[in-house]
Amino acid sequence: MIGDKVNKLLIQGGTVLTQSPERAVLDPGYVAIVDDRIVEVGVGEPQEGFGAEETIEARLMAVIPGLVNAHTHLFQTFVRGLADDRSLLKWLETAIWPVMAKVSQEEVYLAALLGLVENIRSGVTSVIDNHYIHTDPGNDDAVCRAAEESGIRFLMARGWADVNYPEQFMESPEHILAETERLLDSWHGAENGRIRIGLGPLIPWGCSDETMRRTYALAEEWETITHMHTAETEEEVSMLLRERGFRHVEWLESLGCLGPRTHLVHSVWVSEEEIALIHKRDAVVVHCPVSNMYLASGIAPVTRLRRSGTAVALATDGPGSNNAQDMMETLKFAACLQKVGTLDAMALLPEDVLWMATMGGARAMGLESEIGSLEVGKKADVTIVDLDAPHMMPVHSAASALVYNANCGDVDTVIVDGRILMQDKRVLFSDEKALLGACRAANHRLFQRSGINVETLGLQSPISPLD
């Protein structure tokens, strides 16, 4: 389904925000690509003789490294808007658990493909998906199949819980390890390394000590990630304190499960001592500003984490608690939430936010040397954003316009591994109208099968598919 490969591709005439260590901005600049790698980045035009097979004219556009959405749940596209205005645990009880207990493999595939189209439309070239719905044995493979067909760079954190969770979603330690190893054997490194698998222990209060140790050891053996919701709400921190006597990050440290490949998703309610521990162990924090506001979870101490030297990545979280997968929107919310939370207008600058969404995300992907900046030798993962719009005129700073003005509708072109996935605001790997129709019909069937009465939630019934 992916578009045709162009062996020599030239992007020229745009404002190139390289995200290099010097954060060089080249205006006008160019990016020359051969196969899946960047071979030249410079000011003006490339030297004669490059011989591009295709040239993208990017005048009045920003050329940036592809954005990384470092935490989402793609299956949730089918439950977005279902339980607005509820706290995290109430939201799970009234929306996520009842519907997802009935979801099928084909519905998971369609929901994932829909979510990936949405991510790509918002400038995302890499996604970390925390998938924890295993009611059908083929659900995990269905998500990976969607990623394979979309062409996006993809890292699945296979979620699991073995205690204190609804029975239909809990798994035995042996099953968790066996299924994760099967996925690693089947998908880890697929598509020339574009698709990878990691471990996704769901939440500290849903994971036993022993299984946590065993899955962390498996992740370390495969040199892949351990990706976990951590200190998302104050109530969850209190739950673990009552049960095991530790705050979330302290608990991971006590088990020996805090390291450079550990992702601490949310980290809203972390203490100063935990911030010091996160930095000491070189763990990564994934910040989901829109979801934290949507669920009234709180404001993550991003400025303090960054001052400590901790790498912070950005994410939308799942469409069930956002409700979009719009990383362009996330940029603005990330900046503004820190400003209002600290009462400091300079808490996060546009350049800081872009770093979190590119190089911070590359760090979370474990691919700092491969993606996250437009530099010679790196993978050709590139996003081009149209700045020629009334809501951005005039553009005094491209970084400012991207963070404070742009929206997903401004994303013009998305390239992964040198392959164009979207161009002129048109997705090339999927018939979007057909996909929307298939998703609408599948969602209708799922709601009928789940038996959930949306009227009791104060909502209208989902729009029925057209005959």
Confidence of residue 81 (pLDDT cuts 50, 70, 90): confident
Per residue in 102-127, pLDDT (tens digit) is: 889 999 999 999 999 999 999 999 99
Q: What pLDDT, on a 0 to 100 scale, did the predictor assign at position 47?
A: 80
Token pair of 295 as six digits: 């669920």
Residue with tokens 């996330």: 330
Per residue in 280-310, pLDDT (tens digit) is: 999 999 999 999 999 999 999 999 999 999 9
d(C-alpha 345, C-alpha 312), whole Å:
19
Q: What is the pTM of this model?
A: 0.95
Q: In what order do the strands lie in the sheet with 311-314?
A: 67-72, 124-131, 153-160, 195-201, 226-230, 262-266, 284-287, 311-314
Residue with tokens 């400038």: 123
Mean pLDDT confidence for 161-187? 95
Q: Which residue, among 145, 105, 153, 150, has the nearest Cα to 128 in the 3D structure?
A: 153
Confidence of residue 463 (pLDDT cuts 50, 70, 90): low
Per residue in 362-377, pLDDT (tens digit) is: 999 999 999 999 999 9
| Beta-sheet pairing, 226-230 with 262-266 | parallel
The residues, any chain, with a CB within 8 Å of residue 263's CB and separated by 6 or more, are: 70, 71, 128, 157, 225, 226, 227, 228, 283, 284, 285, 286, 364
Per residue in 399-439, pLDDT (tens digit) is: 999 999 999 999 999 999 999 999 999 999 999 999 999 99
Percentage of the chain exceeding pLDDT 90? 84
The residues, any chain, with a CB within 8 Å of residue 49's CB and separated by 6 or more, are: none
Amino acid at 409: G
Mean pLDDT of the chain: 93
Q: Which residue, among 283, 293, 375, 397, has the nearest Cα to 338 in the 3D structure?
A: 293
Confidence of residue 462 (pLDDT cuts 50, 70, 90): low
Domains of the chain, earliest start first: 8-66+373-427 (2.30.40.10), 77-365 (3.20.20.140)
Q: What pLDDT, on a 0 to 100 scale, did the predictor assign at position 460?
A: 54
User: What are the CA-CA distances from residue 195 to residues 148, 154, 190 (Å)?
Assistant: 7, 5, 5
User: What are the CA-CA distances from residue 334 to residues 120, 288, 315, 322, 404 (Å)?
Assistant: 19, 8, 10, 13, 10
Per residue in 307-338, pLDDT (tens digit) is: 999 999 999 999 988 999 999 999 999 999 99
b/e sequence 175-212, b meaning 16+ C-beta within 10 Å: ebbebbeebbeebbeebeebbbbbbbbbbbbbbeeebb
Q: What pLDDT, on a 0 to 100 scale, did the predictor assign at position 315?
A: 98
Mean pLDDT confidence for 24-47? 95
